[in-house]
Chains A and B, each alone.
Chain A
Amino acid sequence: MPSLGADMEAGTLVEWLKHPGDRVKRGDIVAVVDTQKGAIEIEVFEDGVVDRTVVEPGQKVPVGTVLAVIRPDGAAGASLVHDDERARISPLARKVASELGVDLASVTGTGPHGAVTREDVERAAGRRRGVASAPPPSADRATAMRDAIAAAMTRSKREIPHYYLSTTIDMHAALAWLTAENAARPVGDRILPAALLIKATATALVAVPELNGYWIDGAFRTGTGIHVGVAIALRNGGLVAPALHDANRLTIPDLMRQLQDLVTRARSGSLKSSDVSDATITVTNLGDQGVDATFGIIYPPQVALVGFGRIAARPAVVDGKVDARPLVTATLSGDHRASDGHRGGLLLTAIARHLQQPETL
């Protein structure tokens, strides 16, 4: 049972998507596990053949429990049952389909790579019955997610001595670049300011590595990459922060595509284990909903959280004159055990500097 976030202690195996004899390769989704944050698709990290499954569907086991045994590839005669159809249906969609009595084979997927999402299933159910309403998620699910957030945030506030910094960034150059870029792009390829903010943060972290990583067992461990957790509010309440891996190395269009994919999958309940297990910092963009600034609570064992408020025209002094400029307030919540305010300040300054040269991001 993999750890899908620091706050996870146990998970319930929902179903096996691969079975003894099936060949698997790194990245394949082999199982679905139910956690407090919803159903997560579990990826395998080794190539090989499933020898046997140890945990049965329905069993709740602690993190670290062996779920299945995979033997190295090369064993001839293993039966190959590649069930690709199933792999492209989100766990939530499958659950909703069984509740609504929808035949999944009849549903057209609109998710990433044609994946069938919960919305697709509900639409199919609605068409059949002439009803368009979506059933509310179970109260249990909402309560479990609330509990998970409560546990992680309580631990954070109890253990992490937060310090908070803020700076105002002129977004004129970044937005001008974005407007010109988007004018030439079809609607499906347009880039949101959030992609620039995330890329600027990831790039800035290269120079301030002590804010990128984990505080574990009384010591700081630098992240093996810059994996930016993106706080995504779910429509029915709750929050997840899946990661954009190696965000500093992604081009802006690639980052935007991955961000879009992550938001879509987070909201349709089809996140994968690699999405949720290893963010090294979190970025929250609450400003999208209208607040000026957000001072976040660090998601343990991470040591920093960067927040962006609303980008809005405000008075600023430019070349000695007051002018209306698109400004954004960037904030940093830092873990004082791992870094000092001076270094945190350097991160915010670097983010601001990168946003003045969007073409270099």
Chain B
Amino acid sequence: MNKITIENLSLKYSDGTESLRDINLEIPDQQISVIFGPAGGGKSSLLRTLNRLNDLADVVEREGTIKIDDQDIYQPGYDVIQLRRIVGMVFARPVVLPMSIRENLTYGLEVAGIRDPNLLENVLETSLKKAALWEEVKDRLEDPGVALSGGQQQRLCLARVLALEPEVILLDEPTSGLDPISTGKVEESLQELKKEYTIILVPHSVQQAARTADQAAFLLQGELIEVASGEVMFTNPQQQRTQDYIQGRFG
């Protein structure tokens, strides 16, 4: 089942840089889709079109359509706030909001108008458990979020997204600042999470892409070069450029 369908997507910023060119991509449900490629290739831009975070940037031209569950998310009158609850995002550097661990978790729900303390308490616990952080923080929920270590902060950010009960989770190099053990924990949680969510990951290395990908898409300078299952992509890529990149000949 395809969750997201991207058709003929092109993107230009107001300073004239072309970020994406004619992207066609289908994102399957309950899998980890990896978008990889060298820096500056448009991976982050592509992710940020999916929750319309690019609305905040200086995008001048966007062509093509993006459909989530057959709904065009750029159609006039589309509820962007609701979209961002369905499509959660974890950023490269963990950004903990300047409040307690608990408040970080419930912030998204509170701005959506949910105040029921029992419900909030419930969500708090389940989302922290899913992000494999519960055991470490259950006795210190009132501590400021920044008191956590880097790896814990990133899992807190993941839990914050999960608390909204999203359908799609975007991860933009979520482990780039983490040590191998924390990275392992995050990757492990992703394997668990893909049973329930559509996951799109921009990995911080080719190795991570190969470890995690169910589907992989190679993005080079704004163009989608090749899409294949993870197995095929990292053992037997069809395109020369893909092969060169995976084998480390450039990038």
A and B: interacting chains = no
- Residues of chain A whose beta carbon lies under 8 Å from any beta carbon of chain B: none
- Residues of chain B whose beta carbon lies under 8 Å from any beta carbon of chain A: none
